[in-house]
C-alpha cells in the first residue's frame, strides 16, 4: 500500500501493516469494538477473507451499527476544526485495501454490494487534501499498484469516472511501488477513448437509483430474469 505495508499482500511496517486493525479502529470507529462491523469489513478486505466479507455484507448487525461498504458515516460537511473529519486518503477505504493487496474476489464483492467505484466514499471529497503523491481515486490506485486488468475491467463495468485519472502521465514506470500492468493500462486507455454503451449507462443509473441498501431487492423486481441478472452483474 502507498502508506505502509506491501501491495503484494505481505504486511509491512506502518499503519497499513500488522497494526492495520488497531489503526482503523482508532481512526474510524466511534463505537465499542464489538460494534465495529465497518472495521471488520476493512480487516476482511486486507487479508482477502472473502467468506467473512460476504457474511458481513449479509449480516443484520452490519446495518444495525451503521457499517458501510463506503466510507461516509464518519465524515461531516463542517470543515471547521475540531469538528471536521474529512477523507484525506484512500488508504482507509475497503476497495483501496483490497486492490492494494490484490484481493480481486474481495474487490469484486465490494463493487457488487454497491461500493462507490471512484472514491469508495459517499461523503464530501476534496482530493486537494489527499496526501501528496497518493492516488486520487480508486482507478488511479489500481493502476499505480500494478493490479491486473481484471481490476480495471470491474471498475469500468461498475461505472467508474475514468476522467478522474490523469492517464497521460501514467506509463509502465509509475511513481508507485510497482510498475503499472501494461495490459491494465491498455484496457484503461481503450475504455477511456470509447464512449460507454447506452446499455451499460442504464445499468449504472438503475443501480445508483436503487442505492446499495436495496440492491438485494433486484430479484423481486417485475422484470424478465435476463434483465435482473444483468442488473446484478451476473
pLDDT digit of tens for each residue in the chain (234 aa)?
Answer: 333 344 433 333 333 444 444 544 444 444 443 444 456 666 666 666 667 666 666 655 555 545 577 775 444 444 444 434 565 567 778 888 889 889 898 899 889 989 899 988 776 666 666 666 667 789 998 998 999 999 999 999 999 999 988 766 565 555 555 688 999 999 999 999 999 999 999 999 999 999 988 998 999 999 999 999 999 999
Same domain, 203 and 187: no
* Co-location of 41 and 152 in the same domain: yes
Which residue is associated with the grid cell 442488473?
231
Question: What's the distance, CA 74 to chain centroid?
Answer: 16
Specify whether 157 is located in the same domain as 220. Answer: no
Does 63 share its domain with 176?
A: yes
∠ CA 5-163-125 to the nearest 5 degrees?
A: 60
Residue 224 belongs to a domain: yes
For residue 225, how many other CB atoms are within 10 A of its CB? 9
Give me the domain span that covers residue 78.
Answer: 20-194
221 and 134 in a single domain? The answer is no
Q: Do both 63 and 175 map to the same domain?
A: yes
For CA atoms 203, 76, 3, 170, give the dihedral sign. positive
Q: How far apart are CA 232 and CA 112, in angstroms?
A: 7
Count CB neighbours of 163 within 10 A: 10
CA angle 167, 171, 176 (to 5 degrees): 90
Residues 209, 120 share a domain: no
In a domain, 3, yes or no: no
Q: Could you tell me if residue 109 is inside a domain?
A: yes
Domain count, the chain: 2
Does residue 199 contact residue 174 with C-beta atoms inside 8 Å? no
Q: Is 14 a domain residue?
A: no
Does a structural domain hold residue 225?
A: yes
The verdict on 155 and 232 lying in the same domain is: no
Domain-located, residue 9:
no
Same domain, 143 and 49: yes
Same domain, residue pair 178 and 214: no
The predicted model scores a pTM of 0.71
Residue 7 inside a domain? The answer is no
Backbone angles phi, psi at 54, to 5 degrees: -65, -40
In a shared domain, residues 209 and 147: no
Q: Which residues contact 42 (CB under 8 A, 6 or more apart)?
A: 20, 21, 24, 92, 94, 97
Listed in sequence order, the DSSP H helices in the chain are 20-28, 37-47, 50-58, 60-64, 94-100, 104-112, 138-144, 149-157, 182-193, 198-210, 225-231
Tell me: do 172 and 111 sit in the same domain. Answer: yes
Amino acid at each position: 500500500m502507498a502508506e505502509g505495508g506491501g501491495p503484494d499482500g505481505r504486511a509491512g511496517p506502518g499503519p497499513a501493516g500488522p497494526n492495520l486493525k488497531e489503526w482503523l479502529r482508532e481512526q474510524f470507529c466511534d463505537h465499542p469494538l464489538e460494534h465495529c462491523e465497518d472495521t471488520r469489513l476493512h480487516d476482511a478486505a486486507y487479508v482477502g477473507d472473502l467468506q467473512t466479507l460476504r457474511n458481513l455484507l449479509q449480516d443484520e448487525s452490519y446495518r444495525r451499527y451503521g457499517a458501510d461498504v463506503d466510507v461516509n458515516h464518519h465524515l461531516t460537511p463542517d470543515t471547521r476544526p475540531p469538528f471536521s473529519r474529512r477523507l484525506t486518503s484512500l488508504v482507509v477505504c475497503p476497495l483501496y485495501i483490497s486492490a492494494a493487496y490484490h484481493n480481486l474476489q474481495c474487490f469484486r464483492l465490494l463493487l457488487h454490494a454497491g461500493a462507490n467505484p471512484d472514491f469508495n466514499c459517499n461523503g464530501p471529497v476534496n482530493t486537494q487534501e489527499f496526501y501528496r503523491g497518493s492516488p486520487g481515486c480508486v482507478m488511479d490506485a489500481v493502476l499505480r499498484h500494478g493490479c491486473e486488468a481484471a481490476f480495471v475491467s470491474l471498475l469500468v463495468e461498475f461505472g467508474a469516472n475514468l476522467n478522474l485519472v490523469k492517464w497521460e502521465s501514467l506509463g509502465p514506470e509509475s511513481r508507485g511501488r510497482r510498475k503499472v500492468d501494461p495490459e491494465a493500462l491498455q484496457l484503461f486507455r481503450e475504455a477511456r477513448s470509447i464512449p460507454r454503451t447506452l446499455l451499460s449507462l442504464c445499468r449504472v443509473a438503475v443501480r445508483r437509483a436503487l442505492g446499495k441498501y436495496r440492491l438485494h431487492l433486484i430479484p423481486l423486481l417485475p422484470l424478465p430474469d435476463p434483465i435482473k441478472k444483468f442488473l446484478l452483474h451476473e
